[in-house]
Amino acid sequence: MRNPTLARRARALTAAVAAAAVGGLTATLPAQTAPVAPAAPVAETATIVDPGATPETRSLFSFLRDVRGEGILFGHQHTTSFGVTVGDPPDGTRSDVEAAVGDFPAVFGWDTLILEGREKPGVLGAPVEQNIAVFADYMEKAHAFGGINTISAHMNNFVTGGDFYDTEGSTVTAILPGGPKHAELNAYLDDIAAVADQTRDADGDLIPIIFRPWHENAGSWFWWGAAHATPGEFVELWRYTVEYLRDTKGVSNFLYAYSPGGSFGGVDGVYMRTYPGDAYVDILGYDNYDGSTTADSSAWLNGVVQDLAMIADLADARGKISAFTEFGPTGGKLRANGEGVNLDWFTDLLDAIEADPKASRSAYMPTWANFDPLRPAIPYPATGDLPAHEMLPDFQAFEADPFSFFADDLDLADVYGRTVETTEHAPFAHVVTPAAGQRITASPAVVRAKLVGGEATGAWFTVDDDDTRHPLALDSDGYLSATWTLTPEQLDNSTHTVHVTVEVAGSEPLTASSKVILGARPVLAPGVVDDFEGYGDDEALRAEFSTAGVNTISLETGTVGGGDQALRLDYDFTSQTYTGIIKKFSGDWTRFSDLSIWVRPDGSDNRMVLQLVADGVSFEAYPSLAGTDAQVVTIPFEDWRPAPWDTSNADRRLTHDELAKITQFNVYVNEEPAAGVKAGSIVFDEIRATGVASSGFTDVTAEHPYFAEIAWAKRAGIATGWPDGTFRPSARLSREALAAFLHRYTDPEFEAPSTATFRDVPTSHAFFTEIEWLASTGLLPGDPYRKFGPSGTVSRATVASILYALRGTDELPEPGTQTFKDVTPSHPDWAAIEWAAAAGVTTGYPNGTFRPSTPITREAVVAFLHRYDRLPEPPVESVPLFDFADGTQGWTGAGPVAADAGRLAVTSPAGGGWFGVDAPLPDLTGRTEIRMDVVETAGVNPKLALKLGGAWQWCETAEAGWTSEPRTGEDALVFDLTTLTAECAAMLDDVRGFNVYLNEGGHVLDTVEAR
């Protein structure tokens, strides 16, 4: 091969000669011979995803394939768009890497978030065409510096509109061909294709790019992850992405990198679980971050080397490239001046990889971006007031190591100038829909097959062993398709295999198959996670559970807890330290008190972890795996605790609110080294919520339609019931009871006057305080004779009006609106009732009436209050903090501060700095956000620090989010006070200082207020 280390070694030789001369020594150099005329280049051959790729893209593949084992190319995400030395706004020419070691990275990483302006150099709110242009411009500059470009993709959830962490909506199913959001996927891919087409060198030629979509899918944190799509769905999503970009959009400068994440324990079967096939992948990648909580990273390093070696073997066997596609430290291991940090982290990692003959065959290794100077991905030199990062010497040693390649170490004529021929792909057919593992729940279904690289002369599908041929015809979208009619009897949750056969001119017939499940998911009783009776076979079972790590699940038909089937989990810790299974579902468990599970342990004494995800928090319990006798384990919800790693939720409990939002049940098995058992089998059955949650009243059982609402009122101290323990839900609500409910809900600390307001409610009355509170509000007045009528009833309209008044809102219904047929706009309580209906406080009766004059029952008023309690907080009057009308109002900071015309001009130094006042501010108790008008900015991602309490404790909010455009008024920058710790939030009544961290550059601020 043409050795890419020659440039580095030549530099080293030059340096050695120079050193010898300075020292007064005579350097003896080898005798020089006449240069030999180079031989004519011999064309290489490569098999890549795109046989029609540009010559430069083919050459890049050849270079990366050959560099493996000679050295590893270092890469850095957003290296010229984020960092303490890049400037703000950046210009694409400066990098923390270059500032630290005098050279740019060999690989420049970017992300499709630039398209939306959510990452620089994109601009939030700018037209996508503008962001495409600047995206291409930065990659062109990277190419000019000698770097290789790679793009990762973080796509928003096409179903919900949330970000890539929003896992709701079965999004992968929805964006596959035939799905309701398929067109949205195409539109996004169109923008990516536009970036590829606009990224050109000085001669106008397309610049090669490594495209890495759908990464880290072996985890479940992204909506395309393991728990949210079957392996078959992921494979078809990947294939579609390649086919659309390559064949439909004509993108010819992409190499495609598959990177499912890690760790894999060196087990290739787990890594390849969602592999799209050799015809769709050029680079076998691997992402893994060091999450070690101490300076000792040896366990992580061993796992990385093991996995990289496994991936290198897979790449070698397929003629592919292997790479460490994303790496870095987490858990603060690289934070500035952190305690317990391994100061040799980079060189330790490089040494470990280089020492292994297989792992060292990884072509490149990019780390993430320097988004935050306090938690950077790579160290930086001293900049302005910011001192050099303590790990800078180690990173410089990493760069100086001959095994690491940076931009100057690459010969671009070698990278992009090779003559490489490609081999054409043989014709290939695959089943697009239904993808393997999908469920078909209705008839008819559509079978779609794709033929790539050939012309179909005939095509059909069959099912299972039935030889009946169902013809497939070419449709307008380029698929061989047909409808598949199913009878209701076939939709019985059974597994079937669709076989597709395509006759191709000049080739043998092609076949492909997809194993699918017919019928809806088993209908389980409320509270049941699974009883495993509804699965026709192992495939149907595996379609419902995703796996974490290496394990096998299957149906157990021997000893089970109930019925005929259970789940068997087989695991092995030879190459991993934990494994598990995950089931997504949704449930409201407020009527239950415990979780029960039938378990047949394996006697291993390894650690079993049961995990319930409720309201986004993972709660855990730990039944024993000692012994082998089957048993039913029952764990009260009050005994579950947040996972130990989730310190931010350490105080949360499985309360009524959490139990209403159950979304996932997981089982993990962690290796217990002291046990010494490396493999085992556990059987689970009858996983369900059990027990009866108590409402607190003897006459309100879990079957009562308002059980949850009445139980909430009891726990909250709103409803106390009668001395005999009853609540009497259907009884009419008395005026005194309404006063008691509202007083306890709204203002339980109210102090009653010494004299009575009403003649019929003396100070000795059981509800004197409650009624006096209600009288003080004016919400329910007495009569002209100063009588309250405590035992009288209250109408449904009156309760709606009181809640409307309590809300204190100007949320007026549209004129003429009429939700209920018995409440016209002329009704005196029309506005309140319409508000209550629109807010969901009331649903009325099934016949479309509200019955405004009907006396309200006790259960109905509790239901109203419960729904009212869950309404979002109404807008509150803002508290002005700064308006700069009379100058700087005490603001100082790390750079110049000046006020003019009611605005504050700030110049933040290199690396950014804090600006604000060291003086008392108004009480911010109950406020949820600070809003700051930014009239002008060079680009900012600010965060807020408040000095709180007598101890002058500084408390920081989360960052406000990147913006490079003005944000004012209702679009002002928002600092979220709810991100403060509970300890800090409790001191918001005593604010003694206010500081905002502003990125480097000029900023003009206007009104700052609290809401």
DSSP 685-722: EEEEEES----SSTT--TTSTTHHHHHHHHHTTS----
| Helix boundaries (H) for 476-614 | 538-544
Structure tokens that stand for 171 in this block: 């999004």
Structure tokens that stand for 355 in this block: 């020492």
- By CB atoms closer than 10 A (0-12, 13-18, 19+), residue 533 is middle
Contact 119, 962 (CB under 8 A): yes
Within 10 A of 338 (CB to CB), how many other CB atoms are there? 16
Which DSSP category does 227 fall into? G
Q: Is 836 helix (H, G, I), strand (E, B) or coil?
A: helix
- Three-state SS letters, 313-374: HHHHHHCCEECCCEEEECCCCCCCCCCCCCCCHHHHHHHHHHHCCCHHHCCEEEECCCCCCC
Return d(Cα 339, Cα 830) in angstroms, integer. Answer: 63
Task: Give the phi and the psi of residue 811 in degrees, each rounded to 5.
Answer: -75, 80
E strand intervals along 754-889: 879-882
Task: Give the phi and the psi of residue 931 in degrees, each rounded to 5.
Answer: -110, 135
To which H or E segment does residue 996 belong? strand 991-998
Return d(Cα 332, Cα 316) in angstroms, integer. Answer: 36
Q: Strand pairing partners for 512?
A: 500
Contact 470, 514 (CB under 8 A): no
Residues 6+ apart with CB under 8 A from 65: 46, 319, 320, 321, 363
| Helix boundaries (H) for 726-767 | 735-746
Residues 6+ apart with CB under 8 A from 432: 176, 177, 236, 239, 240, 448, 449, 450, 479
Please compute, for residue 678, the number of CA atoms within 13 A of its CA located in the half-sphere on the CB side: 4
The letter for the amino acid at 620 is E
Return d(Cα 128, Cα 137) in angstroms, integer. Answer: 14
Q: Active-site positions?
A: 216, 326
- By CB atoms closer than 10 A (0-12, 13-18, 19+), residue 404 is buried
Residues 6+ apart with CB under 8 A from 468: 462
The letter for the amino acid at 614 is A
Look up tokens 């907080």; give the residue.
Answer: 873
Contact 138, 92 (CB under 8 A): yes
Please compute, for residue 405, the number of CA atoms within 13 A of its CA located in the half-sphere on the CB side: 31
Contact 231, 217 (CB under 8 A): no
Q: Strand pairing partners for 458?
A: 503
Inter-CA distances, 72 with 61, 302, 351, Å = 15, 18, 11
The total number of residues shown for the chain amounts to 1011
The two beta strands, 44-46 and 420-422, are parallel
Task: Give the phi and the psi of residue 687 in degrees, each rounded to 5.
Answer: -90, 115
Return d(Cα 832, Cα 746) in angstroms, integer. Answer: 19
Contact 341, 391 (CB under 8 A): yes
Structure tokens that stand for 122 in this block: 């994109």
